[in-house]
């Protein structure tokens, strides 16, 4: 099975995670893919293959003869997909891109326009795996999974020297829980890489500080004709709360190192309403300030409409891994060298998001993030250049074989 076939097989499994679930994994369907992957890893010849009760799939590529003293490298990717676009049924197809717009679905008039997605301009002459415009593709992060499995398969079939490699495919990364049950000591790697980034060449060791935040609003319902002095409209409280946060500090108006408040969910009626946000900033002090602003806005609504009218919850999700990775910059330097050896110029940028690697780094496993080649993640307009995916697998092979020359 080549890498493209492998990727297309993986995206046939719906694996959306559920942020409201209290189980691990949050959706049972992630285990369906997990079982398939465990069987495949055994088939290609990996050792110690296991899917645990929480849906984590792990395996070992033993060191080749004479390389037992090389660093143990970990490769990590996640199996779940985002809930920001439907995940089923995914109907991928491959197009040879000639420039201009791509009609994804003629029946529904869904078109990926180059003017809206200028990254397309860099892929003229390439083969792009696209959706039919009704679902996401799942390159985030099944492209990462496919690249890791294909690299491992190539190393098994070759006589290339390599140290021991540990592999783990995690559930629930998209809801911030991918590292919740990751056993770092049992994994046993000296350092690792998540393969969970975007365009070819992206290499990241900075991410947001992140929190999940919500406010529950409680109103009083009464017949509108008798509402004066009695009605408290929870839906209007929610709208007023939203207006208190800086309108220009949302994802649609920020870039680079700029943080944001992202309104992810708003729903309700007169009696009860809810807003759910994610709060992000690369700078730790600004991150704390953002959380304070959010809480202050909720406290204002609560005072204005009466105690208990606005109940605020803020929970940290992960921290910027830069603080940890800067103590282990060889992990970045080795990735840079592997990319350049494969003819890819690294693009080191801050992640405007997060990965399992952020939490793993603070759990004792330094873990920068490598590209998958995908574009427009979490979107019906997600696409994956085949040539980029193949090159990511080449980079992983190079990264692992180069490390055979180092000692632990």
104 torsion bin: left (phi>0), alpha (psi -120 to 50), beta (else): alpha
Cα–Cα distance measured from residue 197 to residue 187, given in angstroms and rounded to the nearest whole number: 22
| 173 given a catalytic annotation | yes
Q: Say whether 140 is catalytic.
A: no
Catalytic residue among 40, 141, 173, 356: 173
Q: What angle is formed at CA 85 by the lines to CA 83 and CA 91, rounded to 5 degrees?
A: 120
The alpha carbon dihedral of 85, 91, 97, 102 has a sign of: negative
> Tokens standing for 300?
């204002």
For helices 386-403 and 139-157, angle between their N-to-C axes, nearest 10 degrees: 50
Active-site hit among 40, 80, 87, 394: 80
Q: Please tell me the distance from the alpha carbon of residue 393 to that of residue 402, in angstroms, as a whole number.
A: 14
How is 214-261 classified by DSSP, letter by letter?
A: EEEEE-B---GGG-TTT-B-HHHHHHHHHHHS-TTSSGGG--TT--EE
Residues written for the chain: 408
- Can you tell me the distance from the alpha carbon of 182 to that of 73, in angstroms, rounded to the nearest whole number? 16
Per-residue H/E/C for 248-296: CCCHHHCCCCCCEEEEEEEEECCCEEEEEEEEEECCHHHHHHHHHHHHH
Quick one: tokens of 233?
């409209």
**176 Cβ contact partners less than 8 Å away, ≥ 6 residues apart:** 210, 212, 317, 318, 354
**Cis-peptide, bond into residue 177, ω within 30° of zero:** no
Residues that are catalytic: 80, 173
């Amino acid at each position: 099975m080549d890498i493209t076939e492998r990727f297309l097989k993986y995206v046939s499994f719906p694996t959306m995670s559920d942020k409201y679930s209290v189980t691990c994994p949050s959706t049972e369907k992630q285990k369906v893919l997990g079982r398939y992957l465990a069987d495949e890893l055994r088939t290609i010849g990996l050792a110690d293959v296991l899917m645990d009760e929480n849906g984590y799939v792990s395996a070992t590529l033993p060191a080749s003869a004479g390389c037992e003293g090389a660093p143990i490298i970990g490769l990590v990717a996640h199996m779940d997909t985002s809930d920001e676009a439907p995940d089923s049924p995914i109907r991928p197809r491959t197009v040879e891109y000639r420039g201009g717009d791509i009609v994804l679905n003629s029946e529904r008039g869904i078109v990926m326009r180059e003017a809206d997605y200028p990254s397309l301009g860099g892929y003229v002459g390439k083969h792009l795996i696209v959706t039919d415009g009704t679902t996401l593709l799942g390159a985030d992060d099944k492209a990462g999974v496919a690249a890791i499995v294909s690299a491992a398969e190539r190393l098994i079939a070759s006589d290339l020297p390599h140290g021991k490699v540990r592999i783990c495919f995690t559930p629930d990364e998209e809801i911030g829980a991918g590292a919740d049950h990751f056993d770092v000591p049992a994994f046993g790697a000296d350092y690792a890489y998540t393969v969970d980034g975007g365009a070819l060449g992206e290499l990241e060791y900075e991410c947001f500080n992140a929190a999940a935040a919500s406010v529950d609003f409680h109103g009083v319902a009464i017949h509108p004709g008798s509402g004066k002095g009695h009605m408290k409209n929870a839906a209007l409280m929610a709208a007023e709360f939203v207006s208190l946060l800086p309108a220009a500090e949302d994802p649609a108006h920020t870039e680079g190192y700029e943080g944001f408040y992202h309104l992810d969910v708003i729903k309700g009626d007169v009696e009860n309403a809810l807003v759910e946000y994610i709060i992000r900033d690369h700078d730790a002090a600004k991150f704390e300030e953002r959380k304070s602003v959010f809480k202050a806005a909720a406290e204002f609504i609560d005072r204005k409409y009466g105690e208990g009218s606005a109940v605020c919850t803020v929970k940290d999700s992960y921290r910027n891994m830069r603080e940890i990775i800067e103590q282990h910059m060889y992990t970045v330097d080795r990735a840079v060298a592997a990319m350049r050896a494969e003819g890819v110029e690294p693009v080191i940028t801050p992640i405007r998001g997060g990965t399992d690697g952020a939490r793993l780094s603070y759990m004792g496993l330094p873990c920068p993030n490598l590209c998958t080649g995908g574009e427009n993640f979490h979107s019906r307009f997600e696409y994956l250049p085949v040539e980029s995916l193949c090159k990511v697998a080449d980079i992983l092979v190079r990264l692992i074989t180069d490390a055979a020359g180092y000692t632990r």
